[in-house]
Structures are given as structure tokens and as C-alpha cells.
Structure 1
Amino acid sequence: MIRSMYSGISGLKNFQTKLDVIGNNIANVNTYGFKKGRTVFKDLYSQTVAGATAPGDTRGGVNPKQVGLGSQISTIDTIHSAGSTQFTGNTLDLAIEGDGFFLVGDGDNEFYTRAGVFYLDQDGAIVDGDGRYLSGDAIIIPPDATSLSIGQNGQVAYVLAGTLTDGPVINLYKFNNPGGLEKAGGNLYRESPNSGDPNEGAPGGANGHGVIKSGSLEMSNVDLSEEFTEMIVAQRGFQANTRIITTSDEILQELVNLKR
């Protein structure tokens, strides 16, 4: 009975974690560039009551007899599938169609993001909402420039003194394992020992980087119908594990009452 109670406790902890992940997904359903999380379970250790035996001359083989001891968290994945694109008409709203991340930095720290909400500061530099420079270095737009545009290949262009001028090229960064990136908050990721090194390349180039869509933003890839379904499953799983604990407690109570 004690063993089954601890199995139930492990299930409670795991389903609580699953509900935490689901709650975070739902909270970020309208967060630009957000990538949903997914909780994966695996079984815990199994106690071997009797081992397997091989077939003999007069008797066939016997399978092992094992009792599982509960479950545990296998992984909490970040699903990097693309979200839908929302048109905004704002030139500095940038969406990535395909693979890749924007690089933003403040000189000391560099981060990667899919949320392409950018602005111009008073010096004409393209920055995110927290003042980090796009591409890590300041991309300066002259204050008297007009008709700012950003092409699918990341080429910044503007009209200066009546002349169309090409600015620098807003490169993208790919990772061999984007699921290995570490979330840093604020729609930002940082590379980790398992993400691989960033592969820099021009948007739409030969290395498979995505293209940039100016005037649009990538929405969250959270599917509310899927999250609500998973929430119901997690809730019922949580309830079932509480039933394991209460049932085991009732049986233990009966055993204690045998002495009377």
C-alpha cells in the first residue's frame, strides 16, 4: 500500500507540472513569437519480483514480474513550429517566415528571439522594447531619412536627400537544435550547451534561413483547443492519482482496524 501511495504522489507532482506548462501556454496565447511548451512523462523504476527465465527442455520461458514505482518527468520541450502571421502595416514589425532568429544585444549580452517588435530610438537605432540593438550592433537610420523599408532579404533601405540608399543587411541565426535553446524571459532565448552554435546567414540565403516579412508579426503557436483538451486530461489524471492515495489510505485503515 505504501508503494502505491508513493506512485500516486509521483503522478500528482507530474500532472501539476503539466498543468503549470499548460497554464503558461494559455497565458501567452497572444504573445508575439511565443513557442509553446510540452510535458513528456516516463515511468520510474520498477521493482523486480521475479526475474525472467529462459526456455528449457521440458518447460517454456517465463517473463519477468515487475511492479512499477510511479512516473517522472522525461522532458519539457519547447515546440518551435511556426505561428500564424499577423499583418500590422508597421515597417519595423518583422516576422520570420521559415527558420531562424533575430539577434538582439546590449553590448554585454546577446539573445535570440522570434518576436520582431522593433522601434527607432532617438539616435535612429533599431531596438527592441527594452532598448537592445537589433543584430547586436546599432543599425542607425539617419533622422532625415524617409520611406524606410526592409526587404525579404533583410536589406534596409531608405530615401536620403532624394536618393534611395541601401543600409546594412536585419542577418538571421539558425541552430542545429533550437529545442535546446534556454528561455531567458521577455521572448528571448540564449544558446545552451545542447543548442549548438548559432549559424549566421542572410535571410532567404542558401543556408536555409527564412525570409523577413516587414509589416507583419508572428503570433504565438499556442492552439487553445489543444491546450484545453490537454488541461482536461491533466486534470483527470491528477484526480485519478488522488484516488490512488485515498484508496490506499482506506485499505491501510482497514488493516489497522484488524487488531480490534
Structure 2
Amino acid sequence: MIRSMYSGISGMKGFQTKLDVVGNNIANVNTHGFKKGRVMFQDMVSQQVQGPMAATPNRGGVNSKQIGSGSMVGAIDTVHTGGGNQYTGRELDLAINGDGYFAVQIGDDTFYTRAGNIYFDNEGNVVNSSGAYLLGPDGNRLQIDPALLDDMESTTVNKQGEIIVSIQGQENPVTLQLGIANFANPEGLNSAGGSLFTATPASGPANLVIPGTQGTGDIQSGYLEMSNVDLADEFSEMIVAQRGFQANSRIITTSDEILQELVNLKR
């Protein structure tokens, strides 16, 4: 009887975690480059009441008897499927059509993101909205001569990730090559906040390449990738989590009522 109460508690804890993840997904439904989370449950260790027995000449085989101890969170996955591309018309808003991540640098740390809203700062560096430096396929920062900033006429980005900057009075444009990172296991990336991810031993090291090569997607200028959160799915999961939490709380109250009946036998 006490076992059932602890099983109910474990179920309530699990569904509370599921609600936390669903709430975070819904809060980021309009966050560019956000990847939704998913909770996976697994059962806890079972108590062996009776072990299995093989058949004998005088008796048939008997299966084992086990009583479970509840459930636990087995994994909280980040689902790296692509989100829909939103048209912005701005040349330096970039989306990746396929696999891969933009590589950005903050201090000495390198991060990876699907959010591609980039700019030129006052020193000619190509940065994102957080000021992180965009990296090329050689792992170096992308930068033009700051003296050319006032003479910039137009900027275009092609599918191969070439940022082509036309300079007033200069026949040949300045070209910066954007890099794209891919991983052996993108699901193993760690979320670092700000739509950024970090490489882990599970993801494997980043492989920086030119967009459209080695299995990476090409670049689509004038678009931004939206969150991959589907509100219909999230609200359905929220209902499942709510009902699961209620059902497990009912296990606790039912067990409590039975214990109360046992106490009343003393009277």
C-alpha cells in the first residue's frame, strides 16, 4: 500500500517535468531558431516477488512475478527538426535549407545556432543580434575593412553562403565566405540559451564547411527560421500531462483512504 503511494509520487514528479518542458516550448513558439524539448519516460526498478521457473517433468514453467516502483524521466530530448522559414525581405536575414548550424564566437567559446539574423558592426565584423561573431569555414571571424563601411552600396548573400558587398567606386565587390557546421549527432548538442547550442561528446566535434557541401543545407537569404514548436501538439501534450498528474494524485488519495480504514480497525 505504501508502495502505491510512492509510485503515485514518482508519476506526479514525472508529469510535472513534462509540464515544465511543454511550458518552455509554448513560451518559445515565436523564438527564431528555437528547438523544442520532449520528455521520455521509463519505468523504475521492479521488485521481484517470485522468480521464473523452467518446466520440469512433473510441472510446467512459471513466469516471474514483479511489482513496479513507478516511473522516472528517462530522457529530455531536444528535437532538431527544421522550423518554417518566415519571409523578411532583408538580405542579411538567413535561413538554412537543410542540415547544419551557423557557427558563432563569443569570447573564446564557439556556439552553434539556426537563427540567422546577422549585421555588420562598427568595426566591419559580421555579427548576430547578440554581438556574437559569425565564423567562416576556416573557423575565422568574418570582417571587412571598417573604412569601407561608409561606401557600402549593397549586400547580397547567395546559396553558397557568400556575402557579397558592393563598394562605391570599387569595381570588384568584397566577398566573405560564411561557414556551416554539421555534427555526427545533432541531437547530442546542449542548449546554451539565446537559441545557441554547444558541442558535446555525444554530438561529436563540429565540421565547418561551405553551405551546401558535405550534407549541409544551402542558404536562403531574406528568410528567418522560426521555432519548430507546433501549438496543437503542445496543447495536446499539456492535456496528457495534466490528466496524468491528476490520475497519479488519485492513486495517493486512494491509498490514503485505505490506510485510514486500517487505522479505523483499531477502534
Please give the TM-score of this superposition, normalised by the length of structure 2.
Answer: 0.94
Distance in 2 (alpha carbons) for counterparts of 1:241 and 1:106:
45
RMSD: 1.1
Aligned match of 2:263? 256
Aligned match of 1:196 in 195, 198, 204? 204
**Matched residue SS, 1:163:** coil
Is contact 1:155–1:166 with CA below 8 Å preserved after alignment? no
- Kept in 2, the 8 Å contact 1:102–1:172? The answer is yes
What do the CA deviations read for 1:87-133 (whole angstroms, capped 9, x no partner)? 10111111011010001113411110001111221122211122111
CA contact (8 A) 2:11 2:71 kept: yes
For structure 2, the 5+ residue unaligned runs are: none
Whole-angstrom distance in 1 between the partners of 2:246 and 2:230: 24
* Corresponding residue of 1:61: 61
The answer as to whether partners of 1:158 and 1:164 remain within 8 angstroms in 2 is no
Moved over 4 A (4+): none
Aligned to 2:177: 169
C-alpha distance after superposition, 1:110-162 (max 9, x if no partner): 11000111122112221112211111514226311212111110111122224
User: Residue 72 of structure 2 corresponds to which residue in structure 1?
Assistant: 72
- Is 2:186 aligned against 1:178? yes
Q: Confirm or deny: 8 A CA contact 2:155 2:163 kept in the other structure.
A: yes
State the partner residue of 1:123: 123
Amino acid at match of 1:75: A
Cα deviation for residue 166 of structure 1 reads 4.2
Give the match's secondary structure for 2:176.
coil
Task: Summarize deviations over 1:55-86 as a string: whole Å, max 9, x none.
Answer: 11122111100000000011100001111111
CA distance in 1, matches of 2:258, 2:47: 21
Once the two structures are overlaid, the 10-residue window that deviates more, 120-129 or 231-240, is 120-129
1:157–1:164 contact (8 Å) kept in structure 2: no
Is 180-189 or 140-149 further displaced after alignment? 140-149
Identity %: 57
Aligned residues: 259
The secondary structure found in structure 2 opposite 1:167 is strand
1:137 aligns with 2:136: no
TM-score (norm 1): 0.97
Aligned mates of 1:169, 1:137 — CA distance in 2: 10
Task: Structure 1 unaligned segments of length 5 or more: list them.
Answer: none
* 3-state SS in 1 of match to 2:173: strand
Q: Following the alignment from structure 1 to structure 2, what is the Cα–Cα distance between the partners of residues 159 and 192? A: 39
Give the residue type in structure 1 aligned to 2:144: I
Q: What amino acid does structure 1 have at the position aligned with 2:250?
A: R
